[in-house]
Structure 1
Amino acid sequence: MDIRTRTEQLINGQSVTNRQLQTLLAVARTGSMTAAAKELGISVPVVHRYISNIEAAAGVPVTKSNASGTVLTDEGTEIVEAFSASEARCADDRGFTVCCSPVTEDLMTSVFSSLKMTDVELVISDDVHNVRMMKEGLADLALIDDPLYLYDFDEYGYDMEEIGYMGMVYVDNGPSFIRYKYGAQRVAFMFLDSMSRKYSIDAETYSLSEMLGSNKSFFVDEFLLTRKRLKLKSAVDPKVLRHAITAVFRTEDRKVTRIINAIKSRHLD
């Protein structure tokens, strides 16, 4: 007997199909409508139609074009993350799952490649979603950027280990800030509070390129900029905004130990 669980996603009360959502996910993954169509074995006009159906339900654009292709808007990213989470909850054959943010995404993919681990599922999201993945039993290992989120695990008895440290770049374009959805942002803004700086957070974004082009002030992890080969002038020494990256895991088995040791060998600091 083959019994499977399927989910349905409602956006503003309107139903969107899993196929449409899988298409949006493919666009996010490939960065191109054409590449997504090829990956899914459908035509480009069908991809556009599926995206239009989602946008009709959302009432806002879920993708936008840039110089390198197609990326998701903040709303599109929110929809994809909700879909990925619901699919993970219903998965009947979930393998070893690791979750992290875009700050440590390249690090994790590099570690998996060096260890020749091809059977690991990697989920990329913010700390809030990654904490929830661990609590709901949907992930085996999470890298948490913001140490303040570690208090959320107090009652769960998970093991934790600091695997390195990162500094944050503070780009100062005045008192108006755009808040990046990834990294130890609370730590950074607590620094401003400690300095009695007057500021306002006037925008939030999942998009690094949108933040860089915003002409607003912002904080971003120096490690992420280095991996993207970007160099920005910081108003303070990034070490002033140094924070721990912490691995949270259920049980320390051989696979967890290998991953953590490989990350620590990269000497994040």
Structure 2
Amino acid sequence: MKFNPLLGMEINGHPFSYKFFQTLSLIYRTWSQRKAARELGISAPVLNRRILEAEAKLGFKLVRSTGAGSELTPQGLEILERHRRFLTKMEAGEKPVICGGHISSGLLSTLAHEFGLDAVVYGSDDESSFYLAQKELLDILALDDPLIAFQRDLDFTPIAFDHLVLVSSPGDEINNLEELINSRFIGVSSSSQRLAWKTLQDSKIPFEIVKEVKSPYEAYKLVDNGENIHTFLNSSFFSGSDLLKEETQHVISLVRYGDFNPEIEAFIDFILGPGQRIVEKQGFKSL
């Protein structure tokens, strides 16, 4: 047996059935509202009313008349293309794609496994992950640091708390801020280290970032193999001094992208509910 689901979508808070998208598709193909109505088995006035009601809800034109007949407006074309991509994704059974910071993506990978979500998870820095999200390549953007979300007014969902620990070269033991005067650090770009740097600056502690890398694991390796050098890394993944625990506590979060997917929504509900036990086991602080 072969099943062909007829799926609708929600646009700007308004639900539209598959009939609406069939209408747009036939107008696009036939360049004629009359021909489209004939193929749908309805009268031209009924089809026209369907279009006008949709335009009234959305607040913009979907179809316009030309010398050659009827065509979709740019907004109508975008809606039709998004619906086609949604159908293609559903038919192909593609795996959800999650990408984010090294810390948050690691947590989401574990949560996806525990939930039973067969997803593709990539770890990168927050900026690179956000770039992929803008290209509409992700279902979930995971953020190690909420700064990107605040800067771009993204609707983000907190899933855990974390803080930074001071990681020093072997043999270096730091007990107070004053011992960090003129210290050398490895920085990690697009990370919550900004909280540590600001604390040191506010405390009038001079310091130098001698090298900046993209991965916290690379920063750890450089510090572990170096002399008299330090970095601040997430306590959920690394051991170190809690010297700035309170000052560097921050939110691990996610941003939902793409069209409505019940499986993704159920996964997020799991994270915010029973998944919080897993969050704690992974070394994070639950919500």
> Is 1:192 paired with 2:164?
no
Query: Which residue is 1:255 aligned to?
Result: 263
Q: 1:212 matched to which residue of 2?
A: 224
CA contact under 8 A between 2:126 and 2:143: conserved in structure 1?
Answer: yes
For residues 100 and 246 of structure 2, the distance between their equivalents in structure 1, rounded to whole angstroms, comes to 22
Aligned residues: 168
The one-letter code matched in structure 2 to 1:140 is D
Q: How many angstroms apart in 1 are the aligned matches of 2:123 and 2:96?
A: 14
Residue-by-residue CA offset, 1:89-148 (whole Å, 9 max, x unaligned): xxx976421112221343222112112222x12121001101111112111111111121
Aligned to 1:167: 163
Residue 129 of structure 1 aligns to a residue in which SS? Answer: helix
Distance 1:192 1:262, change over 3 A: farther
Post-superposition offset of 1:187? 2.0
What is aligned with 1:148?
147
State the match for 1:238 in structure 2: 245
Q: Deviations over 1:198-247 (max 9, x none)?
A: 1111012331322332331210000012xxxxx3234x152331011121
User: In the alignment, what sits opposite 1:53?
Assistant: none
Question: 1:146 touches 1:187 (CA, 8 Å); kept in 2?
Answer: no
1:222 alignment counterpart: 235
Could you say what secondary structure the match of 1:99 adopts? strand
Show the 5 A alignment for 1:1-269. Answer: 95-118=95-118, 120-154=119-153, 158-171=154-167, 174=180, 175-181=183-189, 183-205=191-213, 206=215, 207=218, 208-215=220-227, 216-225=229-238, 231-234=239-242, 236-250=243-257, 253-264=261-272, 265=276, 266-267=279-280, 268-269=284-285
Q: Return 5+ residue gaps in structure 1 as ranges.
A: 1-91, 226-230
Q: d(CA) in 1 for partners of 2:131 and 2:235?
A: 26
Task: Name the SS for the 1:248 alignment partner.
Answer: strand
What amino acid maps onto 1:218 in structure 2?
A: T
* Alignment check: 8 A CA contact 1:180 1:211 kept: no
Contact 1:177 1:217 in 2 (8 A): yes
- The whole-number CA distance in structure 1 between the counterparts of 2:262 and 2:246 is 33
1:178–1:211 CA contact under 8 A, matched in 2 = yes
Is the 8 Å Cα contact of residues 185 and 208 (structure 2) preserved in structure 1? Answer: yes
Q: CA RMSD in A?
A: 2.5
Indicate conservation of the 8 Å contact 1:111/1:263, yes or no: yes
Distance 1:177 1:165 in 2: 24
3-state SS of paired residue (2:116): coil
Secondary structure of 1:139's counterpart equals coil
Shift of 1:252: 5.8
Gaps of 5+ in 2: 1-88, 173-179
For the 8 Å contact 2:102–2:124, the answer to whether it is kept is yes
Structure 1 residues 122 and 212, CA, compared in 2 at 3 Å: closer, same or farther? same
Residue identity opposite 2:240 in structure 1: L
